[in-house]
Protein backbone atom coordinates (compact mmCIF):
# COMPACT_ATOMS: atom_id res chain seq x y z
CA UNK A 1 0.00 0.00 0.00
CA UNK A 2 2.79 2.41 0.92
CA UNK A 3 5.80 3.05 -1.29
CA UNK A 4 8.66 4.23 0.89
CA UNK A 5 10.13 7.64 0.08
CA UNK A 6 13.36 6.70 1.85
CA UNK A 7 13.73 3.00 1.01
CA UNK A 8 17.49 3.01 1.65
CA UNK A 9 17.30 4.57 5.10
CA UNK A 10 16.80 2.58 8.28
CA UNK A 11 16.47 3.97 11.80
CA UNK A 12 19.20 6.55 12.45
CA UNK A 13 22.49 5.25 13.78
CA UNK A 14 22.13 7.51 16.83
CA UNK A 15 18.91 5.80 17.86
CA UNK A 16 20.28 2.35 17.06
CA UNK A 17 23.53 2.75 19.02
CA UNK A 18 21.98 4.52 22.02
CA UNK A 19 19.44 1.71 22.30
CA UNK A 20 22.14 -0.93 21.99
CA UNK A 21 24.15 0.84 24.71
CA UNK A 22 21.14 0.94 26.97
CA UNK A 23 20.11 -2.68 26.27
CA UNK A 24 23.63 -3.88 27.11
CA UNK A 25 24.38 -1.47 29.92
CA UNK A 26 27.32 -0.03 28.00
CA UNK A 27 28.99 3.38 28.45
CA UNK A 28 27.33 5.46 25.75
CA UNK A 29 29.90 7.44 23.75
CA UNK A 30 27.84 7.02 20.55
CA UNK A 31 25.04 9.58 20.11
CA UNK A 32 26.43 13.07 20.74
CA UNK A 33 24.95 14.52 23.92
CA UNK A 34 26.53 15.83 27.13
CA UNK A 35 26.01 14.12 30.47
CA UNK A 36 26.29 17.39 32.40
CA UNK A 37 23.64 19.80 33.59
CA UNK A 38 22.61 23.08 31.95
CA UNK A 39 23.66 26.29 33.79
CA UNK A 40 21.66 26.65 37.02
CA UNK A 41 20.57 30.21 36.19
CA UNK A 42 19.06 28.99 32.93
CA UNK A 43 17.18 26.16 34.65
CA UNK A 44 15.81 28.66 37.14
CA UNK A 45 14.45 30.79 34.27
CA UNK A 46 12.73 27.74 32.72
CA UNK A 47 11.09 26.95 36.07
CA UNK A 48 10.02 30.57 36.31
CA UNK A 49 8.41 30.73 32.87
CA UNK A 50 6.67 27.37 33.04
CA UNK A 51 5.09 28.20 36.40
CA UNK A 52 4.29 31.79 35.36
CA UNK A 53 2.10 30.37 32.59
CA UNK A 54 4.19 30.89 29.45
CA UNK A 55 2.96 27.60 28.09
CA UNK A 56 0.97 28.38 24.93
CA UNK A 57 2.07 28.71 21.31
CA UNK A 58 5.00 31.02 20.70
CA UNK A 59 4.92 33.34 17.67
CA UNK A 60 5.62 31.38 14.48
CA UNK A 61 9.07 32.88 13.87
CA UNK A 62 10.09 32.86 17.55
CA UNK A 63 9.72 34.88 20.74
CA UNK A 64 10.71 38.50 20.04
CA UNK A 65 13.06 38.78 23.05
CA UNK A 66 14.98 35.71 21.92
CA UNK A 67 15.22 36.83 18.29
CA UNK A 68 16.66 40.13 19.51
CA UNK A 69 19.19 38.40 21.74
CA UNK A 70 20.23 36.13 18.85
CA UNK A 71 20.65 39.12 16.55
CA UNK A 72 22.81 40.97 19.06
CA UNK A 73 24.89 37.84 19.74
CA UNK A 74 25.64 37.56 16.02
CA UNK A 75 26.65 41.24 15.93
CA UNK A 76 28.92 40.82 18.97
CA UNK A 77 30.57 37.67 17.67
CA UNK A 78 30.82 38.26 13.94
CA UNK A 79 30.19 42.02 13.47
CA UNK A 80 27.18 41.34 11.25
CA UNK A 81 24.00 43.36 11.63
CA UNK A 82 21.02 40.99 11.62
CA UNK A 83 17.37 42.12 11.65
CA UNK A 84 15.59 40.30 14.47
CA UNK A 85 12.20 40.86 12.85
CA UNK A 86 12.88 39.56 9.38
CA UNK A 87 16.12 37.56 9.34
CA UNK A 88 15.90 35.26 12.38
CA UNK A 89 13.71 32.16 12.87
CA UNK A 90 13.74 30.11 16.07
CA UNK A 91 13.28 26.41 15.34
CA UNK A 92 12.79 23.14 17.21
CA UNK A 93 16.48 22.24 17.03
CA UNK A 94 18.91 22.71 14.18
CA UNK A 95 17.39 19.55 12.70
CA UNK A 96 14.10 21.27 11.84
CA UNK A 97 15.97 24.31 10.52
CA UNK A 98 18.05 22.09 8.22
CA UNK A 99 14.95 20.33 6.93
CA UNK A 100 13.09 23.58 6.29
CA UNK A 101 16.07 25.27 4.63
CA UNK A 102 16.64 22.30 2.33
CA UNK A 103 12.90 22.13 1.53
CA UNK A 104 12.88 25.85 0.78
CA UNK A 105 15.71 25.57 -1.73
CA UNK A 106 15.33 22.21 -3.47
CA UNK A 107 12.79 21.61 -6.25
CA UNK A 108 12.51 18.23 -8.03
CA UNK A 109 15.59 17.61 -10.16
CA UNK A 110 17.75 20.23 -8.41
CA UNK A 111 21.23 19.16 -7.41
CA UNK A 112 22.91 19.56 -4.04
CA UNK A 113 26.51 18.97 -2.99
CA UNK A 114 27.42 17.57 0.41
CA UNK A 115 30.79 16.54 1.83
CA UNK A 116 31.22 13.03 3.18
CA UNK A 117 31.38 11.99 5.92
CA UNK A 118 28.17 14.08 6.15
CA UNK A 119 25.74 14.54 9.03
CA UNK A 120 22.91 12.14 8.41
CA UNK A 121 19.94 14.51 8.03
CA UNK A 122 21.15 16.33 4.92
CA UNK A 123 20.61 13.77 2.18
CA UNK A 124 17.15 12.47 3.25
CA UNK A 125 15.77 16.01 3.19
CA UNK A 126 17.19 16.56 -0.30
CA UNK A 127 15.71 13.25 -1.46
CA UNK A 128 12.27 13.96 0.03
CA UNK A 129 12.18 17.17 -1.99
CA UNK A 130 13.03 15.35 -5.22
CA UNK A 131 16.61 16.60 -5.33
CA UNK A 132 19.75 14.78 -6.39
CA UNK A 133 22.64 14.61 -3.90
CA UNK A 134 26.25 14.68 -5.06
CA UNK A 135 28.68 13.41 -2.45
CA UNK A 136 32.28 14.54 -2.33
CA UNK A 137 34.60 12.69 0.04
CA UNK A 138 36.80 14.86 2.22
CA UNK A 139 40.53 14.00 2.07
CA UNK A 140 41.74 11.58 4.72
CA UNK A 141 43.25 12.00 7.34
CA UNK A 142 42.80 15.79 7.77
CA UNK A 143 39.30 15.75 6.26
CA UNK A 144 39.91 18.77 4.09
CA UNK A 145 37.76 19.61 1.08
CA UNK A 146 39.22 19.12 -2.38
CA UNK A 147 37.95 22.30 -4.07
CA UNK A 148 38.88 21.07 -7.57
CA UNK A 149 36.41 18.24 -7.08
CA UNK A 150 33.75 20.74 -6.08
CA UNK A 151 34.41 22.87 -9.18
CA UNK A 152 34.04 19.71 -11.31
CA UNK A 153 30.69 18.81 -9.75
CA UNK A 154 29.02 22.23 -10.02
CA UNK A 155 26.75 22.69 -13.04
CA UNK A 156 23.72 24.76 -13.95
CA UNK A 157 21.38 22.45 -12.00
CA UNK A 158 23.35 22.89 -8.75
CA UNK A 159 21.18 24.82 -6.29
CA UNK A 160 22.73 24.04 -2.93
CA UNK A 161 26.02 23.37 -1.16
CA UNK A 162 25.81 22.30 2.49
CA UNK A 163 28.80 23.05 4.67
CA UNK A 164 29.51 22.20 8.31
CA UNK A 165 32.32 23.66 10.38
CA UNK A 166 33.32 22.60 13.03
CA UNK A 167 32.56 19.28 11.43
CA UNK A 168 30.61 16.32 12.76
CA UNK A 169 31.83 13.54 12.75
CA UNK A 170 35.49 14.38 12.02
CA UNK A 171 36.23 17.40 14.24
CA UNK A 172 37.89 19.18 11.30
CA UNK A 173 37.45 22.93 10.90
CA UNK A 174 37.57 25.30 7.95
CA UNK A 175 40.30 27.85 7.32
CA UNK A 176 39.92 31.16 5.50
CA UNK A 177 41.12 29.60 2.26
CA UNK A 178 38.13 27.20 2.31
CA UNK A 179 35.76 30.14 2.55
CA UNK A 180 37.58 31.91 -0.30
CA UNK A 181 37.32 28.79 -2.49
CA UNK A 182 33.61 28.42 -1.76
CA UNK A 183 33.03 32.09 -2.50
CA UNK A 184 34.75 31.86 -5.90
CA UNK A 185 32.75 28.78 -6.84
CA UNK A 186 29.33 30.22 -6.06
CA UNK A 187 29.98 33.73 -7.41
CA UNK A 188 27.61 34.49 -10.30
CA UNK A 189 25.59 31.27 -9.78
CA UNK A 190 22.12 30.52 -8.38
CA UNK A 191 23.63 28.35 -5.64
CA UNK A 192 22.45 28.75 -2.03
CA UNK A 193 24.60 27.74 0.91
CA UNK A 194 23.39 26.10 4.10
CA UNK A 195 26.02 26.56 6.78
CA UNK A 196 25.59 24.17 9.71
CA UNK A 197 27.42 25.92 12.55
CA UNK A 198 25.94 24.12 15.55
CA UNK A 199 29.45 23.64 17.05
CA UNK A 200 30.46 27.29 16.49
CA UNK A 201 31.72 27.69 20.09
CA UNK A 202 33.62 24.40 20.28
CA UNK A 203 36.89 25.14 18.47
CA UNK A 204 40.26 24.15 19.97
CA UNK A 205 43.93 25.12 20.04
CA UNK A 206 43.35 28.87 19.60
CA UNK A 207 41.82 28.43 16.14
CA UNK A 208 38.98 30.75 15.17
CA UNK A 209 35.60 29.58 13.95
CA UNK A 210 35.09 30.62 10.33
CA UNK A 211 31.45 31.68 10.32
CA UNK A 212 29.65 32.61 7.14
CA UNK A 213 28.29 35.53 9.18
CA UNK A 214 31.75 37.12 8.79
CA UNK A 215 31.63 36.96 4.98
CA UNK A 216 28.96 39.38 3.65
CA UNK A 217 29.03 38.17 0.04
CA UNK A 218 28.42 34.55 1.07
CA UNK A 219 25.96 35.53 3.79
CA UNK A 220 23.69 37.04 1.10
CA UNK A 221 22.98 33.54 -0.26
CA UNK A 222 23.19 31.54 2.98
CA UNK A 223 21.02 29.98 5.64
CA UNK A 224 23.19 29.88 8.77
CA UNK A 225 21.99 27.40 11.36
CA UNK A 226 22.95 26.97 15.00
CA UNK A 227 21.64 25.20 18.10
CA UNK A 228 21.31 26.00 21.79
CA UNK A 229 21.46 22.26 22.46
CA UNK A 230 25.25 22.24 22.03
CA UNK A 231 25.90 25.54 23.75
CA UNK A 232 23.89 25.00 26.95
CA UNK A 233 24.10 21.19 27.27
CA UNK A 234 20.37 20.96 26.48
CA UNK A 235 20.02 18.76 23.39
CA UNK A 236 16.62 17.54 24.65
CA UNK A 237 15.09 21.01 24.62
CA UNK A 238 15.13 21.06 20.80
CA UNK A 239 16.02 24.70 20.40
CA UNK A 240 17.88 26.03 17.39
CA UNK A 241 17.72 28.91 14.94
CA UNK A 242 18.26 29.91 11.36
CA UNK A 243 19.54 33.27 10.11
CA UNK A 244 19.22 34.35 6.49
CA UNK A 245 18.55 37.56 4.53
CA UNK A 246 14.95 38.74 4.49
CA UNK A 247 13.87 37.20 1.17
CA UNK A 248 15.39 33.83 2.07
CA UNK A 249 13.91 33.94 5.58
CA UNK A 250 10.47 34.72 4.26
CA UNK A 251 10.55 31.58 2.05
CA UNK A 252 11.99 29.57 4.94
CA UNK A 253 9.10 30.63 7.18
CA UNK A 254 6.55 29.63 4.54
CA UNK A 255 7.81 26.08 5.04
CA UNK A 256 8.55 26.23 8.79
CA UNK A 257 4.98 27.34 9.61
CA UNK A 258 3.64 24.10 8.15
CA UNK A 259 6.29 21.80 9.61
CA UNK A 260 6.28 22.73 13.29
CA UNK A 261 4.54 26.12 13.30
CA UNK A 262 6.59 27.36 16.26
CA UNK A 263 9.10 26.36 18.92
CA UNK A 264 8.48 25.64 22.58
CA UNK A 265 7.62 28.80 24.49
CA UNK A 266 9.05 28.74 28.04
CA UNK A 267 12.51 27.65 26.87
CA UNK A 268 12.64 30.55 24.41
CA UNK A 269 11.91 33.12 27.13
CA UNK A 270 14.38 31.42 29.46
CA UNK A 271 17.21 31.39 26.91
CA UNK A 272 16.47 35.04 26.02
CA UNK A 273 16.92 36.03 29.67
CA UNK A 274 20.05 33.93 29.99
CA UNK A 275 21.60 35.41 26.86
CA UNK A 276 20.87 38.89 28.24
CA UNK A 277 22.20 38.15 31.74
CA UNK A 278 25.15 35.85 30.92
CA UNK A 279 26.16 36.74 27.35
CA UNK A 280 29.72 35.52 28.00
CA UNK A 281 28.69 31.97 28.98
CA UNK A 282 29.66 30.40 25.64
CA UNK A 283 33.24 31.68 26.03
CA UNK A 284 33.97 28.84 28.48
CA UNK A 285 32.91 26.08 26.11
CA UNK A 286 36.02 25.76 23.96
CA UNK A 287 38.36 25.38 26.97
CA UNK A 288 35.91 23.09 28.71
CA UNK A 289 35.75 20.69 25.76
CA UNK A 290 39.44 21.02 24.93
CA UNK A 291 40.15 19.74 28.44
CA UNK A 292 37.81 16.80 27.75
CA UNK A 293 39.49 16.06 24.43
CA UNK A 294 42.97 16.20 25.94
CA UNK A 295 41.95 14.05 28.90
CA UNK A 296 40.32 11.42 26.68
CA UNK A 297 43.21 11.34 24.19
CA UNK A 298 45.78 11.23 27.00
CA UNK A 299 43.99 8.31 28.65
CA UNK A 300 43.93 6.45 25.34
CA UNK A 301 47.62 6.98 24.57
CA UNK A 302 48.49 3.36 25.50
CA UNK A 303 45.68 1.94 23.32
CA UNK A 304 46.08 0.36 19.89
CA UNK A 305 43.68 2.89 18.36
CA UNK A 306 45.14 5.63 16.18
CA UNK A 307 43.62 8.93 17.28
CA UNK A 308 42.91 11.35 14.45
CA UNK A 309 43.22 15.11 15.04
CA UNK A 310 40.09 16.78 16.45
CA UNK A 311 40.08 20.60 16.18
CA UNK A 312 36.47 21.16 17.23
CA UNK A 313 33.09 19.60 18.24
CA UNK A 314 32.92 16.99 21.01
CA UNK A 315 33.87 14.01 18.87
CA UNK A 316 37.06 12.02 18.55
CA UNK A 317 37.72 9.74 15.58
CA UNK A 318 39.75 6.57 16.22
CA UNK A 319 41.23 4.38 13.48
CA UNK A 320 41.31 0.72 14.51
CA UNK A 321 43.14 -1.28 11.82
CA UNK A 322 45.69 -2.45 14.46
CA UNK A 323 42.85 -3.97 16.50
CA UNK A 324 40.46 -5.60 14.05
CA UNK A 325 39.66 -6.16 10.39
CA UNK A 326 35.90 -6.17 11.07
CA UNK A 327 33.63 -3.65 9.32
CA UNK A 328 33.09 -0.60 11.53
CA UNK A 329 29.37 -1.31 11.95
CA UNK A 330 30.14 -4.83 13.19
CA UNK A 331 32.96 -3.70 15.43
CA UNK A 332 30.86 -0.91 16.98
CA UNK A 333 28.18 -3.50 17.82
CA UNK A 334 30.75 -5.96 19.11
CA UNK A 335 32.51 -3.44 21.39
CA UNK A 336 29.14 -2.25 22.73
CA UNK A 337 27.82 -5.73 23.51
CA UNK A 338 31.01 -7.49 24.58
CA UNK A 339 33.11 -4.69 26.11
CA UNK A 340 30.38 -2.19 27.07
CA UNK A 341 31.48 0.99 25.29
CA UNK A 342 29.25 2.31 22.49
CA UNK A 343 30.53 4.37 19.54
CA UNK A 344 29.37 5.37 16.05
CA UNK A 345 30.70 3.63 12.91
CA UNK A 346 31.85 6.41 10.59
CA UNK A 347 31.02 4.58 7.34
CA UNK A 348 27.33 5.40 7.83
CA UNK A 349 28.12 9.06 7.08
CA UNK A 350 29.36 8.13 3.58
CA UNK A 351 27.82 7.07 0.30
CA UNK A 352 31.19 5.59 -0.76
CA UNK A 353 33.14 4.90 2.43
CA UNK A 354 36.94 4.94 2.15
CA UNK A 355 38.95 1.90 3.17
CA UNK A 356 40.02 3.42 6.50
CA UNK A 357 38.30 1.84 9.49
CA UNK A 358 37.12 4.46 11.92
CA UNK A 359 34.84 4.79 14.95
CA UNK A 360 33.55 8.05 16.43
CA UNK A 361 33.51 8.57 20.20
CA UNK A 362 31.72 11.43 21.99
CA UNK A 363 33.78 12.98 24.79
CA UNK A 364 31.02 15.26 26.17
CA UNK A 365 31.02 13.16 29.34
CA UNK A 366 32.18 13.40 32.95
CA UNK A 367 35.88 12.73 33.55
CA UNK A 368 34.95 9.54 35.44
CA UNK A 369 32.95 8.23 32.48
CA UNK A 370 35.82 8.99 30.09
CA UNK A 371 38.27 7.25 32.45
CA UNK A 372 36.04 4.16 32.70
CA UNK A 373 35.64 4.01 28.91
CA UNK A 374 39.39 4.43 28.33
CA UNK A 375 40.22 1.59 30.74
CA UNK A 376 38.11 -0.72 28.55
CA UNK A 377 39.28 0.63 25.18
CA UNK A 378 42.94 0.30 26.23
CA UNK A 379 42.42 -3.47 26.60
CA UNK A 380 41.30 -3.96 22.99
N1 LIG B 1 24.04 19.44 12.70
C2 LIG B 1 25.04 18.73 13.24
C3 LIG B 1 26.35 18.70 12.55
C4 LIG B 1 24.83 18.03 14.43
O5 LIG B 1 25.81 17.32 14.97
C6 LIG B 1 23.55 18.08 15.05
C7 LIG B 1 23.22 17.32 16.30
N8 LIG B 1 24.14 17.02 17.11
C9 LIG B 1 22.56 18.84 14.45
C10 LIG B 1 22.83 19.49 13.27
C11 LIG B 1 21.19 18.91 15.04
O12 LIG B 1 21.13 19.75 16.15
P13 LIG B 1 19.82 19.83 17.06
O14 LIG B 1 20.01 18.85 18.16
O15 LIG B 1 19.77 21.24 17.55
O16 LIG B 1 18.65 19.49 16.21
N1 LIG C 1 24.01 15.13 16.38
C2 LIG C 1 24.11 14.05 17.33
C3 LIG C 1 25.29 13.19 16.96
O4 LIG C 1 25.96 13.41 16.01
C5 LIG C 1 22.87 13.20 17.36
C6 LIG C 1 21.58 13.87 17.13
C7 LIG C 1 20.45 12.90 17.03
O8 LIG C 1 20.48 11.86 17.64
N9 LIG C 1 19.51 13.23 16.24
O10 LIG C 1 25.57 12.24 17.63
- How confident is the model over 281-309, as pLDDT tens digits? 999 999 999 999 999 999 999 999 999 99
* Of the residues 238, 256, 279, the one at which a domain ends: 279
| 71 located within any domain | yes
| 298 located within any domain | yes
Partners of 316 in beta bridges: 361
* Of the residues 279, 310, 329, the one at which a domain ends: 279
Query: For residue 318, what is the domain's CATH number?
Result: 3.90.1150.10
86 and 161 both lie in a single domain: yes
Q: How many residues does the chain have?
A: 380
| 94 located within any domain | yes
* Cα-to-centroid distance, 86 and ligand 1 (Å): 24
347 and 293 both lie in a single domain: yes
- Supply the pLDDT for residue 157: 98
210 and 356 both lie in a single domain: no
Separation between Cα atoms, residue 27 and residue 17, nearest integer Å: 11
288 and 273 both lie in a single domain: no
Which one of the ligands is nearest to 199 CA?
A: 1
265 and 365 both lie in a single domain: no
| 237 located within any domain | yes
Instruction: Please name the residues in contact with 185: beta carbons below 8 A apart, sequence gap of 6 or more.
Output: 147, 150, 151, 154, 161, 191
Q: Which residues' Cβ are closer than 6 Å to ligand 2?
A: 14, 31-32, 168
- Supply the pLDDT for residue 74: 98
149 and 189 both lie in a single domain: yes
| 62 located within any domain | yes
* Of the residues 253, 279, 305, the one at which a domain ends: 279
Separation between Cα atoms, residue 373 and residue 376, nearest integer Å: 5
- Supply the pLDDT for residue 339: 98
Give the ligand 2 atom nearest the CA of 121.
9
Measuring CA to CA, which residue among 41, 34, 91, 45 is closest to residue 267? 45
Measuring CA to CA, which residue among 353, 285, 310 is closest to residue 135? 353
211 and 340 both lie in a single domain: no
* Cα-to-centroid distance, 165 and ligand 2 (Å): 15
Q: Which residues' Cβ are closer than 6 Å to ligand 1?
A: 32, 93-95, 119, 164, 168, 196, 198, 227, 229, 235, 240
Give the ligand 1 atom nearest the CA of 228.
15
236 and 212 both lie in a single domain: yes
- CA 44 to each of CA 51, 92, 129, 313: distance values in angstroms, whole numbers, following the listed order: 11, 21, 41, 27
- Supply the pLDDT for residue 155: 97
The total domain count for the chain is 2
74 and 137 both lie in a single domain: yes
Separation between Cα atoms, residue 198 and residue 230, nearest integer Å: 7
Residues of the chain with pLDDT below 50 are none
SS3 322: coil
Q: Nearest C-alpha to atom 3 of ligand 2 is from which residue?
A: 32
Give residue 342's domain range.
13-31+284-377
* Cα-to-centroid distance, 152 and ligand 1 (Å): 29
109 and 66 both lie in a single domain: yes
Angle, helix 40-51 to helix 265-277, in steps of 10 degrees: 140
| 49 located within any domain | no
Instruction: Please name the residues in contact with 263: beta carbons below 8 A apart, sequence gap of 6 or more.
Output: 58, 62, 90, 91, 92, 238, 239
* Cα-to-centroid distance, 304 and ligand 1 (Å): 30
316 and 207 both lie in a single domain: no
Query: For residue 188, what is the domain's CATH number?
Result: 3.40.640.10
| 4 located within any domain | no
122 and 208 both lie in a single domain: yes
Give the ligand 2 atom nearest the CA of 15.
8
Torsion angle in degrees (nearest 10) through CA of 15, 12, 106, 237: 10
Q: Is 238 left (phi over 0), alpha (psi -120 to 50) or beta?
A: left
| 44 located within any domain | no
Measuring CA to CA, which residue among 259, 268, 207, 262 is closest to residue 237? 268
- What is the value of pTM for the model shown? 0.98
- Supply the pLDDT for residue 265: 98
SS3 145: coil
- Supply the pLDDT for residue 295: 98
Separation between Cα atoms, residue 115 and residue 146, nearest integer Å: 10
Amino acid sequence: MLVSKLPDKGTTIFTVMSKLASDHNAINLSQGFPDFQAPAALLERVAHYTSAGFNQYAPMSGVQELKEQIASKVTDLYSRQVLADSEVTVTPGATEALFCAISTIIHPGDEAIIFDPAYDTYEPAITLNGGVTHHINMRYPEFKIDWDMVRDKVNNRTRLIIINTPHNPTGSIWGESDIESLQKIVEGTQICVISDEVYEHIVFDAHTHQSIHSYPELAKRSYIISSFGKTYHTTGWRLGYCIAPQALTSEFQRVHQFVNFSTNTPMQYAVADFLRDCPEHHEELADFYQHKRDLFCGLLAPSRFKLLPSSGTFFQLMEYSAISSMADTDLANHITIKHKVASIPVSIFYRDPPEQKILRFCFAKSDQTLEAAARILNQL
